[in-house]
Amino acid sequence: MWRALARARAVGLWAPGGGAGAWGRGLWEGRRRPAAGAKAGVSAAARERCDGRRLRYGARGGGGGGGRGTAAGKRREASGRGGAAAPRPSPGPHGLPRSFPGRTSPAAAMPEVDTGRLDPQQVQLLAEMCILIDENDTRIGADTKKNCHLNENIEKGLLHRAFSVFLFNADNKLLLQQRSDAKITFPGCFTNTCCSHPLNNPREVEENDAIGVRRAAQRRLMAELGIPMEQVPPEEINYLTRIHYKAQSDGIWGEHEIDYILFVRKNVTLNPDPNEIKSYCYVSKEELEELLEKAASGEIKITPWFQIIAETFLFKWWDNLNHLNQFVDHEKIHRM
């Protein structure tokens, strides 16, 4: 216990009496889900440092850098943009490439990529079917999570629907997570509460008031953070707006998404899955600014979508948690 707190103090994110809200176990925790029949709890060995020195990160990165007010050029660099784009096929419907893998037969078109060295549990998730969209967020089909996250497909224009959740507790502190080292994209990076994708099923493709996306967020908050689904019903997940961004994780994997921004204000019960989350914490605005400064100096890595949102929108939204309606914009897609 003492060693874990000492590590947090060393990076300037822990102070006596600060802690993680209702849990009171210090700012960052690497909590494991208990085995069946075991008592829930957090051992000292399970608590993780947050200085980022243990992160394993792809050589091409894309998630680092960028405190509050960082120049847009740095944001573009950290988002993995730049370099020559691959030649685009002739356009099909909606102006998108005709050669989208998975348009008619995802399994047959799936590129050969060696997944033997990847985490088996994360590899299984690559078979999930994501929602393909055009640049106006119109649904045009479905494809595997694997195909949607391969850079070779992203460079051809493959685009899918996603969401990012920002959950605040009663003290108006934001819940952050550090992605596990097992994650295929942006492993070990610090990011917002939960980031994932709605699936191509009847419950999650429903678009009225983004109900399908909000149902997907409820599902993933349970899967990643162990938040009971009854604590985050879709009607308490607030849809603000959308961003469109592209970023590479490494030479093989990346992201190209229209990302729904979702806000939740509630105290919740946490029991994270260690295969998804390495550590987590609640932070104040000042503590987040410190974290962003550490990312800017290269001490830690943050995900590119979180960097973009933090630089562009987050602090303004955070200052107005009681008046978020003024920022609701379901028409515009912010091109980042």
The catalytic residues are 195, 257
Distance CA 270, CA 23 (A): 9
Strand 238-248 relative to strand 254-265: parallel, antiparallel, unpaired? antiparallel
Selection from 60, 146, 166, 136 nearest residue 106 by Cα: 146
Sign of CA dihedral 5, 314, 297, 186: positive
Distance CA 194, CA 167 (A): 8
Sign of CA dihedral 64, 68, 71, 72: positive
Q: What is the total residue count of the chain? A: 336
- The answer for residues whose C-beta is within 8 angstroms of residue 25's C-beta and 6 or more apart is 19, 42, 47
Cα 324 to Cα 159, 231, 310, 318: the distances in Å are 28, 21, 16, 9
Residue 168 has φ and ψ, to the nearest 5°, of: -115, 140
Q: Mind spelling out the 3-state secondary structure of 26-68?
A: CCCECCCCCCCCCCCCCCHHHCCCCCCCCCCCCCCCCCCCCCC
Distance CA 77, CA 73 (A): 6
Angle, CA of 282, 286 and 288, to the nearest 5°: 50
Distance CA 75, CA 119 (A): 30
The answer to whether residues 284 and 173 touch, using CB atoms and an 8 Å cutoff, is yes
Distance CA 109, CA 203 (A): 26
The answer to whether residues 21 and 267 touch, using CB atoms and an 8 Å cutoff, is yes
